[in-house]
Amino acid sequence: MRIKLLPENPNFGFLQRRMMFFAFSAILVAVSIGLFGVKGLNYGIDFTGGIMLEVKTSEPGQIGELRSKLRGLGLGSVELQEFGAPDDILIRLQAQEGGEKANDAAVRAVKIALGEGIEYRRTELVGPKVSDELFWSGVYAVVSAILAILIYIWFRFEWQFGLGAVIALSHDVITTIGIFALLGFEFNLATVAAVLTIAGYSINDTVVVFDRVRENLRKYKTKPMDELLNQSANETLSRTVMTSLTTMLALLALYFLGGEIIRDFSFAMIWGVIIGTYSSVCLAVPLLLHLGVERRTLEDDDKSVEQLP
C-alpha cells in the first residue's frame, strides 16, 4: 500500500495567496533584522576569540563547585554551562592579554584549579586576530555564494529568475540568522557551513520549479501567467515535499542522536529545509509574476536553436 502525502494532481492556490505569503515573509525578515540589531548573535569562540574547554566531571551537578574554583583565578570573564548531560560542562574564558603563551598559561591554571577527577574532552584556543579573520571570511563566503547563484541563474534562465531566486535565498539566510538570535544558539563556523548548505539546498529546489516554469512557458502559449506559474508550482510540489521530508528524517536523527557538538548545526539545517521549501514555492515562483517574465525571450531562444545547422 502506497502512502500518499499529496493528492494525485494537486491544485493549491499559491499565486492567489501570494500577497499573504509576501506579507508573512516581510514580517519574518523585519523581525529577524530587528532581533539581530537589538539582541545580536551568541557568537562562538571562532568569532570572539578566547578559550573553550569541554570537561566531564566524576559526578553530575558540580557546575557550582567548578565555578567557585575558577572565580578567583583572575582570568577575566569565565562562563560555565551544562553541555547536554549534567556531568558535561562547557567552560569559556575570554582571550588573555599576551597572546598564545598567556592563553596556554590560563589553560594550565584552570586544570590545576579543577584538580583531579576531571576528564578534558576538548580544548580550543582562538586569538582575536584569527577570530576576526574567521568572521569576515564567513561573511565573504555567504555573500559570494549568493552572488554566484545570481549569476548562474541569470545565465541558466533569465534575469527575472535570477533576481527572484536571490530574493528568496536572502530571505532564507536572514531568517536563519534571526532564529539563532531569538533562541541564543551559538553562531560559529559550523553555523556558517549550515547557512551555505541551506543556500545550496534552497536554490536546488528553486531551480527545479523554475525549470518547470520554463517548460510550461514554451508549452502553453496563451495560458494566463498566474495560472501557468501556479500550475508549475503544483506540478513540482510532490518532488519538493518528498525531498524535504527525506532530508528532514536524516537531520532529525542528527539533532537528537548526534550529540551537542553538531546540535546547533543540525537545528540550522532543519530550519533551512523548512524555510527553503517554503520560499521556493511560495516566494520565488510568485515573484516571477511581479518581475515580468515574458514568453518572448524564450521563444527567441527556441528560434535561435532551430536556425543552427
Which has the higher per-residue pLDDT, 133 or 309?
A: 133
- pLDDT interval class at 231 (50, 70, 90): very high
Q: Give the model's pLDDT for residue 307.
A: 41
- pLDDT interval class at 304 (50, 70, 90): very low
- pLDDT interval class at 298 (50, 70, 90): low
Among the ranges given (22-31, 41-50, 233-242, 282-291), the one the predictor scored with the smallest mean pLDDT: 41-50
Which has the higher per-residue pLDDT, 220 or 38?
A: 38
In this predicted model, what pLDDT tens digit does every residue of 68-121 receive, in sequence order? 888 777 777 777 877 777 788 888 887 777 777 787 888 888 888 888 888 888
Listed in order, strand segments (DSSP E) in the chain are 42-43, 50-57, 78-83, 85-93, 118-126, 186-187
Question: 220, 179, 250, 184: which is closest to 29 by C-alpha?
Answer: 179
Pairwise CA distance, residues 226 & 289, whole Å: 7
In this predicted model, what pLDDT tens digit does every residue of 2-28 receive, in sequence order? 566 666 778 888 999 999 999 999 999
> Taking CA 238 as the corner, what is the angle to CA 233 and CA 243, rounded to the nearest 5 degrees?
110
- pLDDT interval class at 128 (50, 70, 90): low
48-70 average pLDDT score: 81
Q: Give the model's pLDDT for residue 38.
A: 94
Long-range contacts, 62-69 (Cβ 8 Å, 24+): 62/87, 62/89, 63/89, 66/91, 66/114, 69/113, 69/114, 69/115
Domains (range + CATH), the chain = 18-43+131-304 (1.20.1640.10), 50-126 (3.30.70.3400)
Q: Name the percent of the chain lying above pLDDT 70.
A: 90
Q: Name the percent of the chain lying above pLDDT 90.
A: 24
Q: Give the model's pLDDT for residue 296.
A: 60
Contact at 8 Å (CB) between 10 and 237? yes
Q: Give the model's pLDDT for residue 308.
A: 37
Pairwise CA distance, residues 66 & 59, whole Å: 12
Listed in order, strand segments (DSSP E) in 94-163 are 118-126
C-alpha cell belonging to residue 265: 548545526
Over its C-alpha atoms, the chain yields an Rg (Å, rounded) of: 25
Checking if the pLDDT of 306 tops 80, the result is: no
- pLDDT interval class at 295 (50, 70, 90): low
Checking if the pLDDT of 171 tops 50, the result is: yes
Q: Give the model's pLDDT for residue 301.
A: 52
Buried b (16+ CB within 10 A) or exposed e, 198-217: bbebbbebbbebbebbbebb
Instruction: Give 106's strand partners.
Output: none
